[in-house]
Amino acid sequence: MAISSVGFTCRSYFPIRTLQYHCLWKIRFNSVATAIETTDESDGFTKDVDCQDRVADVTRDREWKQLSSKDLGLSSSMIAKPTRQVLNSLKSKGHDVYLVGGCVRDLILKRTPKDFDILTSAELREVVRTFSRCEIVGRRFPICHVHIGDDIVEVSSFSTSALNSPRNMRTDFKESSGSDGDEDCIRLNNCLQRDFTINGLMFDPYAKVVYDYLGGIEDLRKAKVRTVIHAGTSFQQDCARILRAIRIAARLGFRLSKETAHFIKNLSFLIQRLDKGRILMEMNYMLAYGSAEASLRLLWKFGILEILLPIQAAYLARSGFRRRDKRTNMLLSLFANLDKLLAPDRPCHSSLWIAILAFHKALADQPRSPLVVAAFSLAVHNCGDILEAVKITKKITRPHERSFFELLGPEENVELKTLLDEVMDLDASIKDALNQMTDGYFISKAMAAYPQAPYSDLVFIPLQLYLRAGRIFQCVEKEETQMGFEAKQGSKIEYSSLYSGYFPEIRHVFARVAFDTVFPLDVCQEL
């Protein structure tokens, strides 16, 4: 969602001319409140540039702004308590502290942040000395993990970001400012290293100021995802930004700028260079935090699904699903129903979305009766014997979803033994689908019928996660008494358990998603 009106104002803003000019200029608050301009800049493509030209290109025709956090609707109460504790501790030691990145963006949009990131003037070693439970993690870009109870708050340092900036850019800042302490230059330096303009906002909760050096507020107003530097250069520097752009656009319902979209499509092959663990992390952010359907649609639109999930891409191609299709299908409906139960601060364990992918593949390969799907879902949910699940299923009289080819027509007077056998067959098919989804041979063959598609045999699901997803369905057995399986108590979702991968909770949510997809939502009371 975009910012819907121009009801907030900024205290003062200044047009950017040159880096040297503005590193000498001290931005001050002015008593005159000025409405934020909404003029859009050109999305025309630009050539690669060196560091100095890159700074000039990034800041050309944009304005440095200091905005009142109150006018933006921000308050300290919106910041999570563990984060406030870390902010207060660092501030009491005399350090400057800011909230940075996606959390500032989300707070302005009145969304719940996935997490809060802190940037401070303190050295990382000083941060470690400030907190009893704190460690430095990361080699290339070290940060601190501060443990507050069961929560982890990430803290980065200006000094670390300065070391990671190009040398001549740091020299320009030092020479143009006349000192190492020019605050605006230091903040701008950090912002220039970020991925997208809407992630380049800094919030000082004590001065009650939001700093915007890159036009991030303007892009929030326009619901636009745009790279800080030229998109081609940005994605080649860090190809994970391609997946982050998709994830942010999907979660916020934003559009991608023309330049950003162009290079996502043309450089999508770069993501195969990413570490598999990084790919899994980005895919989990897409599918486990409440924006899975939109993420799958965008991955398909930009030709990335063929690389990451070729089996699911082949399904969409086989069913005639077009790049800009607005209609839905069973795969998208399953994830749409999952999205209804999740949120950025209420995610699920990654084994759940992997299990849903396998469940759908089994049905796409061999369509089943809706009663079979219902009985299977109930058996998973209850962790009880399959006979009980089948008996409950035979009482369902509500109509099922008829638009999915994965579901056969209703069977009348089906024998109990036949239904039992078909449920067990579906269980076996799901486990076989899991095997294929983690086998490079089967993945590489998925798009064989579409020679225009990129070749991919990428398996980013590790063995441990594959085994964990398989355990979700181990409770489906014919025996009347199940041993060693604990059933979910109550209908309320315990999100901490869902995130940690507690099996009764995972099974409960899986069953709800599968059942709600096949039958109208009001039938879910049968669960």
User: Which residue would you say has higher pLDDT here, 176 or 148?
Assistant: 148
pLDDT at 159 over 60: yes
What CA–CA distances, in Å, run from 77 to 58, 72, 73, 366? 34, 14, 11, 52
Total length of the chain: 527
Predicted confidence at residue 171, as pLDDT, reads 43
Residue (of 426, 417, 427) closest to 390 by Cα position: 417
pLDDT at 324 over 70: yes
pLDDT at 43 over 50: no
What CA–CA distances, in Å, run from 190 to 87, 99, 201, 212, 347? 19, 12, 10, 12, 29
Characterize 405-424 residue by residue with b for buried, 16 or more Cβ atoms within 10 angstroms of its Cβ, and e for exposed: ebbbeeeeebeeeebbebbb
Averaged over 186-197, what is the pLDDT?
A: 89
Render pLDDT for 215-262 as a digit per residue (tens, 0 to 9).
999 999 999 999 999 999 999 999 999 999 999 999 999 999 999 999
Predicted confidence at residue 484, as pLDDT, reads 61
User: Which residue would you say has higher pLDDT here, 400 or 176?
Assistant: 400
Predicted confidence at residue 323, as pLDDT, reads 86
User: Which residue would you say has higher pLDDT here, 165 or 390?
Assistant: 390
CB neighbour list of residue 326: distance below 8 Å, 6 or more residues apart? none
Confidence of residue 479 (pLDDT cuts 50, 70, 90): low
Q: Are 182 and 81 spatial neighbours (Cβ–Cβ below 8 Å)?
A: no
What CA–CA distances, in Å, run from 458 to 316, 473, 515? 18, 25, 31
DSSP string, 301-341: HTT-HHHH-HHHHHHHHHTT--TT-----HHHHHHHHHHTT
What percentage of residues in the chain have a pLDDT greater than 90? Answer: 63
Alpha carbons within 13 A on the beta-carbon side of 400: 24
Eight-state DSSP code of residue 407: B
d(CA 323, CA 338): 22
Q: Are 242 and 86 spatial neighbours (Cβ–Cβ below 8 Å)?
A: no
Confidence of residue 386 (pLDDT cuts 50, 70, 90): confident
Render pLDDT for 108-118 as a digit per residue (tens, 0 to 9).
999 989 889 99
Predicted confidence at residue 409, as pLDDT, reads 78
What CA–CA distances, in Å, run from 164 to 140, 157, 193, 281? 8, 11, 9, 23
Predicted confidence at residue 521, as pLDDT, reads 64
What are the backbone dihedrals phi and psi of residue 137, each rounded to the nearest 5 degrees, phi first? Answer: -125, 155
